[in-house]
Amino acid sequence: MTALWTSAEIAAASGGQETAEFSCDAVTFDSREVMGGELFVAMKGEQADGHDYLDMAFDRGAAGALVSRPSNHPHVLVEDGLEGLEALAKEARLRAKNASVIGVTGSVGKTSVKEAIRHALQAAEPERTHWSVKSYNNHTGVPLSLARMPRETRYGVFEMGMNHAGELSRLTRFVRPHIAIVTAIAPAHIEFFGTEEAIADAKAEIFEGLEPGGTAILPADSPHFERLRRAATRYADRILTFGLSEGADIRPLGVEPGGEGRDITVQAGEERVLFRLMQPGDHSVRNAMAALAAVHAAGGDIAAAGLGLASLRGLEGRGAQYLLAWESGEVRLIDESYNANNASMEAALSVLRGAEISGRRLAVLGAMKELGARSDELHLALARPIEASNVDRVALVGEEMRPLAEALEAPLFDAAAEAEAWLRDTLEPGDAVLLKGSNSVGLSKIVAALRGGAA
């Protein structure tokens, strides 16, 4: 198997000085991720300096390092670690000559759609599909994901995020996608934008990096569709749409109950595919349509894509469900603890509404961050989807939730630990509980605690 990088290739790409020959099979800037054979990129950050972790990385088996100051370990010396990583990203993108590259952004569903696409593509190309792991979608995560891409890659799927205008414009020029997807527009990070229209404009920056002949994939059901379409037309040679509405290019022709999931029929160009989707909620169907649109645009195997989508389950923090032993029975835990905005809150609550249970529906909802002057308004707006979801008991976490707590006369807690105590006192066998909030609220700690030892 060809090495991902040799020290000579790293030096040539970065303009650095090679001090010893080595080869590596992976790249990381987190010493805790080193398993053996990696290039460790030592970057200076606001909180830590990667050079302080060089010994740890090599003790764990790193093959070499990219550094901005000399080291006793095998390394390539560059002026700046992040700039060196970016140089590797550019070279990795350049040398993957046969790759169809797909970029994904949006206010909601970025990671879920990225994972749906990679499952769909892996079904046909298990060894030559590459994707960004976790939520590596920022100014360091995107270059890292690119630097990890093997030269033999057939399909590359990259998630890109932002919370300020101009950020996606830069990231998409690293990725240079052949296919660019906007999943949805919602008031996430609206504190930094002021309006959803400004958010749509910032998300549309992804199209600026499209390769000649590229395809833009847009959410047909979005109220901002026309705005996105106008932006995409400037850079894309082709526009495809996905959604649940009749006008979408890629949409479900039929959705029927099937076992534990739903059997979905989709027309993609001249091909029709029937597959079973195990993930609940209309938003999961939309995500699947986005994935099939990407496969169709890339000329992939639609039938195999259906098989890949059938293997999808909820992601940790993004819809994973667990049955936990509780007293003399079980409770269902819906883990949506990673992030939250109004659109994703409503989607998660709809999943709770559809849960087939013998007991009650409970929700522990954490504050939504970065909403600025609209915080009170947008938190209060959650009252409607909570009521529509037939939630029996709700507890709220974070000061931003105070207006909603007063409107619902619901308990409000300052910290996740207090909400966990409430939940342990409240849960009964047969119940289902949804945990959702911005990551910084810490509801994932409740999930971990409940899974580690229930009652």
As annotated, the binding site for ATP includes 106-112
First to last CA, the chain: 49
DSSP annotation of 115 = H
Bind-site residues: 106-112
The answer to whether residues 317 and 298 touch, using CB atoms and an 8 Å cutoff, is: no
Helix (H, G, I), strand (E, B) or coil at 396: strand
User: For residue 285, which of 435, 113, 432 has the smallest C-alpha distance?
Assistant: 113
Tokens for 79?
């002026």
Residue that is written with structure tokens 């549309």 in the block = 204
Distances (CA, A) of 270 to 223, 292, 296, 387: 28, 13, 10, 42
Rounded to 5°, the CA angle 17-21-25 comes to 105
Helix (H, G, I), strand (E, B) or coil at 235: coil
Tokens for 452?
């580690």
Helix (H, G, I), strand (E, B) or coil at 177: coil
CA separation for the pair 120, 174 (Å, rounded) = 24
